[in-house]
Amino acid sequence: MKDDTPNRRIPVGISACLTGQQVRHDGGHKHSRYCTEVLARYFRFLPLCPEMGAGLASPRAAMRLVEASDEDQPRLLACRGDQDFSAPMAAFIERVLPTLEGLRGFVLMAKSPSCGMERVRVYSEQGTVSRRDASGLFAGALMARYPLLPVEEEGRLNDDALRENFVERVFVYDDWCRLREQGLSARGLIEFHSRHKFQLLAHCQARYRRLGPMLADLKARPLEDIADDYIAEFMAAMACRADKGDHINAMLHLAGFLRQGLEDADRALIHQQIEAYQRGDVPLVVPMTLLRGAQSKVAQPYLAQQRYMAPYPDALGLRNRL
């Protein structure tokens, strides 16, 4: 799964029906063109169908989750006839999860009793809906085994803010995984924190303030332990969506670093466009482009490393819609 070519695509898992594979219970698919035609330019998708992996065919009986009074986990039953597929699904999950360690994200099909990330229905044995707060069996096991992994449902990628947040998390998590693959060092950890500081500031100020002190004394505990605690807090911070006020705060901080090297007119234009973004007249990309232009003139060394300036490829156009 390792790919070190310069234009490497990031390995990301995906429910196979979203790639157009005809693996659904009705013999069809749920092709997501956004995934296969846009994200696939940057993500190397690994398609996976848990139900086919569990040995079922397509077409097959539709499934649902049914509450099991004697077990923690609901059972995976056919909607008609109550045939129980829990055991082959459990065996598939046990077999496949260890092979997914190299993934940097996962796009799941919503509502599925196998793939749904959240709000999946669970039925009582009498056939009524008893709750709507479950995850599909595979999705739940995936998130439990890899709690840092950015996971999102395909339908939620239609929301501009959720889409941007997911893609940004995949890129930062990939950066972290590459750091770990190269071998953890105190210097690597400090540099990672440094280059993501403005992203943290934009996503969660409270966690931003906690994360710095976690790295203040890297000899206080084993480095592995510090790194594990750090990245759990870091990924939780990145999962908080940055709203307009958060981006304005981060951009004003950036502008402050650039103040010395700019002419009055350049500074005024940046502030005008931050205000225009605040009013909703222009998208985030407008003031950010001015700040990037200013940075290319000033070459402020601390800002040069900030991933907030360009967290993912511009061609994705994600900041055009924020």
Pick the closest to residue 239 from 188, 189, 164 (CA basis): 164
Q: Which helix (H) or strand (E) holds 46?
A: strand 43-48
Pick the closest to residue 137 from 80, 94, 98 (CA basis): 94
Pick the closest to residue 97 from 131, 132, 67, 137 (CA basis): 137
Least Å distance, CB 251 to ligand SF4, is: 40
Q: Which of 23, 170, 200, 291 binds ligand SF4 (CB under 6 A)?
A: 23
Window contacting ligand SF4 (CB under 6 A); options: 87-95, 96-104, 109-117, 201-209: 109-117
Nearer to ligand SF4, 84 or 266 (CB): 84
Dihedral angle sign, alpha carbons of residues 156, 158, 160, 165: positive
Nearer to ligand SF4, 109 or 122 (CB): 109
- The angle subtended at Cα 300 by Cα 169 and Cα 172, nearest 5°, is 10
Q: Which of 11, 12, 13, 24 binds ligand SF4 (CB under 6 A)?
A: 24
Window contacting ligand SF4 (CB under 6 A); options: 43-51, 242-250, 270-278, 299-307: 43-51
When asked if residue 207 is in the footprint of ligand SF4 (CB under 6 A), the reply is no
Is residue 58 helix, strand or coil?
coil
When asked if residue 115 is in the footprint of ligand SF4 (CB under 6 A), the reply is yes
Q: Which of 39, 66, 93, 109 binds ligand SF4 (CB under 6 A)?
A: 109
Q: Which of 64, 92, 106, 114 binds ligand SF4 (CB under 6 A)?
A: 114
Give residue for tokens 């510090």: 226
Residues 49-108 interacting with ligand SF4 (rule: CB under 6 A)? 49-51
Nearer to ligand SF4, 39 or 231 (CB): 39
When asked if residue 16 is in the footprint of ligand SF4 (CB under 6 A), the reply is yes
Nearer to ligand SF4, 19 or 273 (CB): 19
3-state secondary structure string, 210-223? HHHHHCCCCCCCCH
Residues 164-193 interacting with ligand SF4 (rule: CB under 6 A)? none
Least Å distance, CB 114 to ligand SF4, is: 4
Give residue for tokens 């398609």: 47
Dihedral angle over CA of 310, 315, 321, 322, nearest 10: -10
Binding residues for ligand SF4, rule CB under 6 A, total: 12
What are the contacts of 259-263 at 24+ separation with CB within 8 A? 260/298, 261/294, 261/297, 261/298, 261/300, 262/294, 262/297, 262/298
- Binding residues (CB under 6 A) for ligand SF4: these are 15-17, 23-24, 49-51, 109, 112, 114-115
